[in-house]
């Protein structure tokens, strides 16, 4: 394949109706990634708390959940949620199935990130909040967790980048996200090299922009207590 043919291939891929399909796929990729992030943050935070403070029964169940989820490939979990649950009469739309599978998969990793964030908060923060009359739940919600989120922000950013990249597997459950749209264009144009090159650029731009944004946010929110000795922690 010579240079002229490659140039003509890119012109084909980036003309006509194909850019609109790529744009739609990009928006859907961002949408399912954001929705999955909301699920993973909610479930992952809860898992991180019950595992960190060893809540009876729930702590062990949380440990088991994390081990199982991290030991099963994401593509298997996506297929189980979308195809497997139909055996029990549960039929979920592709977007909902992808959101749940991605979110619950990511929650296992977010729980570890939350645990690390809690370890980064000095124990005196919880003790001071309790001495002011706050309950344990209130102290965690208003004092400890906000600081833990700031400590965990870099790792959470990396997890969201992983969600964006992992969303490409959602094409296996018929979700027409970016990768699925790319394959549809390949089927119509037979321009595999050019389409995959364009997809690579789009994914890179998305993740690079997100990484830069998170670094700027991290620089503004870096707490002073992150430089304190690690001898005394919340947990």
d(CA 235, CA 232): 8
Q: What is the DSSP letter of 135?
A: -
Asked whether the beta carbons of 153 and 226 are under 8 A apart, the reply is no
In tens, the pLDDT along 32-44 reads 999 999 999 999 9
Q: What is the CA radius of gyration of the chain?
A: 22
Map out the domains of the chain with their CATH numbers.
Answer: 3-224 (1.10.3720.10)
Interval 134-163 mean pLDDT: 84
pTM of the model: 0.86
Confidence of residue 1 (pLDDT cuts 50, 70, 90): low
- Is residue 230 within 8 A of residue 180, CB to CB? The reply is no
3-state class (DSSP) for residue 53: coil
According to the model, what pLDDT value does residue 154 have? Answer: 85
């Amino acid at each position: 394949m010579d240079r002229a043919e490659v140039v003509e291939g890119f012109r084909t891929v980036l003309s006509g109706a194909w850019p609109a399909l790529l744009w739609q796929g990009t928006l859907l990729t961002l949408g399912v990634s954001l929705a999955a992030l909301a699920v993973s943050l909610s479930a992952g935070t809860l898992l991180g708390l019950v595992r960190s403070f060893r809540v009876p029964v729930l702590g062990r169940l949380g440990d088991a959940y994390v081990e199982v989820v991290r030991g099963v490939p994401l593509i298997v979990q996506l297929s189980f949620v979308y195809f497997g649950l139909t055996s029990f009469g549960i039929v979920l739309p592709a977007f909902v199935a992808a959101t749940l599978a991605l979110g619950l998969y990511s929650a296992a990793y977010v729980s570890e990130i939350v645990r690390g964030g809690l370890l980064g908060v000095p124990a005196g923060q919880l003790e001071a909040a309790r001495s002011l009359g706050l309950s344990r739940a209130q102290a965690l919600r208003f004092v400890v967790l906000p600081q833990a989120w700031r400590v965990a922000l870099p790792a959470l950013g990396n997890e969201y980048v992983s969600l964006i990249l992992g969303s490409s597997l959602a094409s296996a459950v018929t979700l027409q996200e970016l990768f699925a749209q790319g394959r549809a264009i390949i089927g119509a144009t037979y321009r595999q090299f050019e389409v995959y090159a364009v997809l690579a650029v789009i994914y890179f731009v998305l993740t690079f922009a997100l990484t830069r944004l998170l670094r700027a946010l991290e620089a503004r929110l870096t707490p002073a207590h992150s430089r304190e000795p690690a001898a005394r922690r919340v947990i």
